[in-house]
Structure 1
Amino acid sequence: MPLLVVHLAAVWFCVGLVWVVQVLVYPGFAGIDRAAFTEWHDRHTRLMSFVVSGPWAVQGITTAVLLVRRPEGVPFWLAAVAGVCGAATVAVTVLVSVPCHQRLSRGYDDEVLARLVRTNWWRVLAWSAGGVVAAAMVLVAA
C-alpha cells in the first residue's frame, strides 16, 4: 500500500499543477510585457522544471514498479492504464510542449501560445485520467 500512496500523491501533485498551468499560467503568458517576455519565460521554464521534475520522476518510477510488482488486488490492466497515461504526458511534453516553449523562448508569438494552450489539454486529460487510475488502485487494494 505505501507504493500506491506515494504513486497517488505524485500523480495528484502533477494533476493539480497541470490544471493551474492550463487555467492560469499559460493564458497569463499573453499579459506579460513583450519587452520582458523572453526573460520572464526563461525564468518560468527553469522554475517549472524544478517544481515538476521530482513528482513526475516519482510517478514514472512508481508506475514502472507497479507494472512489475503490484500490491494484492491491483490488476495489471490498471497499472498498464497508469503507464499509458504517464507515457502520454511524456510524449506530449517532449513532442509538442517543449518545441512550443523553445519557440516562445525566442520571443512572444500569439500562434505558438495558442498551440501550447490548445495542446496542453492533452496533458491535462492524461494526468487527470492517471489521477483517477491511481485512486482506483488505492481503492481496490484497500
Structure 2
Amino acid sequence: MPLLVAHAAAVWFCVGLVWVVQVLVYPGFAGIDRSAWTDWHDRHTRLMSWTVSAPWAVQGVTCAVLLVWRPDGVPFWAAALAGVCGAATVAVTVLVSVPCHQRLSAGYDDEVLARLVRTNWYRVVAWTAGGVVAIGMVLAAAG
C-alpha cells in the first residue's frame, strides 16, 4: 500500500500543478512586460523544472514498479493505464511543450503561447486521468 500511496501523492501533486499552470500561469504569460519577458520566462522555466522533477520522477518509478509488482487487488490493466497516462505527459512535454518554451525563451510570441495553452490540455487530461486511476488502485488494494 505505501507504493500506491506514494504513486497517488506524486500524481495528484502533478495534477494540481498542471491545473494551476493551465488556468493561471500560462494565460498570465500574456500580461508579462515584454521588456522583462526573456528573464522572466527563463526564471519560470528553471523554477518549474525544480518544482515538478521529484514528483514526476516518483510517478515514473512507481508506475514502473506497479507494472512488475502490484499489491493484491490491483489489476495489471490499471497499472498499465497509469503507465500510459504517465507516458502521455512525458510525450506531450518533450514533443510539444518544451519546443514551445524554447521558442518563447527567445522572445514572446502570441501564436506560440496560444499553442502552448491549447496543447497543455493534453497534459491536463493525461495527469487528471492518471490521478483517477491512482485513486482507483488505492481503493482496489484497500477493498
Q: CA deviation at 1:53?
A: 0.2
Q: What do residues 80-119 of structure 1 show as CA deviations (whole Å, max 9, x unaligned)?
A: 0000000000000000000000000000000000000000
Does residue 120 of structure 2 align to residue 140 of structure 1? no
Task: Structure 1 unaligned segments of length 5 or more: list them.
Answer: none
Does residue 23 of structure 2 align to residue 18 of structure 1? no
Tell me how far apart the structure 2 counterparts of residues 38 and 88 of structure 1 sit (CA, whole Å). Answer: 29
Identity %: 85
Number of residue-to-residue matches in the alignment: 142
Task: Structure 2 unaligned segments of length 5 or more: list them.
Answer: none
Letter aligned with residue 19 of structure 1: W
- TM-score, normalising length from structure 1? 1.00
Q: Equivalent residue of 1:108, what SS?
A: coil
Structure 1 consecutive aligned stretches of length 4 or more whose deviation exceeds 6 Å = none
Tell me how far apart the structure 2 counterparts of residues 6 and 100 of structure 1 sit (CA, whole Å). Answer: 31
Letter aligned with residue 52 of structure 2: V
Taking only aligned residues, the RMSD between alpha carbons, in angstroms, comes to 0.2
Letter aligned with residue 41 of structure 1: H
Q: What do residues 57-89 of structure 1 show as CA deviations (whole Å, max 9, x unaligned)?
A: 000000000000000000000000000000000
Q: CA deviation at 1:51?
A: 0.2
